[in-house]
Amino acid sequence: MNLLMCPVCKTNLVLEERTWRCENNHSYDVAKQGYVNLHVVQHKHSKNPGDTPESVQARRAFLSAGHYAPLQQAVVQKIRDLRIENLLDIGCGEGYYTDAMQQEVLQCVGVDIAKNAVQVAAKLNKNVTWVVGTGATLPVLDQSIDLCTSLFSPIPQEEILRVLKPEAYLLVVTPAPEHLYAMREALFEEVKAHEPNKFAEQLAGNFTLIDQEIVQSKMCLQQEDLKNLIAMTPYAYKAKPERRQALEQKNGFELTAHYQIYIFQKK
């Protein structure tokens, strides 16, 4: 089943050799890296939206070293338990989680606004349909998706409601209260606990919370891994340069990753 939707006229896209085409003859070529760009110019607000190439490379290096593997494994188990056929990963980035989630379903679409991230992701797993696109207009058909996932990414609620089948699922991963607290203490004068429950409150009108779990893991990071972790987070540009530089000098830095996983069902 083709899941992709033309971002211009909202009709079904069909893959013909290496081109996605709709009935109105809008066409989108598959790039040599294996992704398709469905982020049309009229939906763009900047020339190169999303993560910078530096942030993408830092995330790829950090995640491929296995530091967030406990989260990846927990998410994969949740998907296995749901017994679904397809999923849409919103904000797939460079594909670390999408790659693992694809193994549990028949069809998997990964979408991200950052073309440089999708280019990296597309080299990872040829069984995922990799798409450059925006959450403001998710590039999949109405009521076609069994599970939307958003891991540390935006949650475009109206679009998620449009693309999910009746009584289908939304899996959200967001920082739990103490996530990377030691690192944030080193970078900022004032540190507030994360508030994951705000997402549950925002979604309560249209979704029923059916499962929640906190996953935590301790890490001891060497200097290069610590630099990559800082670079892949928003803290990289929010922290004062002197505080960031001081933290980047450390070796064997201990901190705890603290993740909140929610599973919601569409009402």
Name the nearest CA neighbour of 93 among 74, 79, 68, 104. Answer: 68
**108 is an annotated ligand-binding site residue:** no
**45 is an annotated ligand-binding site residue:** no
**94 is an annotated ligand-binding site residue:** yes
Neighbour count for residue 157 (Cβ, 10 Å): 16
Rounded Cα distance, 128 and 122, in Å: 8
**92 is an annotated ligand-binding site residue:** no
* DSSP letter string, 193-228: ---THHHHHHHTTTEEEEEEEEEEEEEEE-HHHHHH
Rounded Cα distance, 238 and 228, in Å: 15
**254 is an annotated ligand-binding site residue:** no
Q: What tokens appear for 192 in the block?
A: 């507030």
**148 is an annotated ligand-binding site residue:** no
**22 is an annotated ligand-binding site residue:** yes
Residue 26 and residue 8 in contact, taking contact as beta carbons nearer than 8 Å = yes
Helix (H, G, I), strand (E, B) or coil at 125: coil
Q: What tokens appear for 64 in the block?
A: 């491929």
Four-residue CA torsion sign, 230, 39, 64, 77:
positive
Residue 236 CB contacts under 8 Å (≥ 6 apart), including other chains: 55, 230, 244
**6 is an annotated ligand-binding site residue:** yes
Rounded Cα distance, 51 and 4, in Å: 23
Rounded Cα distance, 39 and 131, in Å: 8
Residue 105 and residue 130 in contact, taking contact as beta carbons nearer than 8 Å = no
Binding site per annotation, positions = 6, 9, 22, 26, 68, 94-95, 179
Binding site per annotation, positions for S-adenosyl-L-methionine = 68, 94-95, 179
Binding site per annotation, positions for Zn(2+) = 6, 9, 22, 26
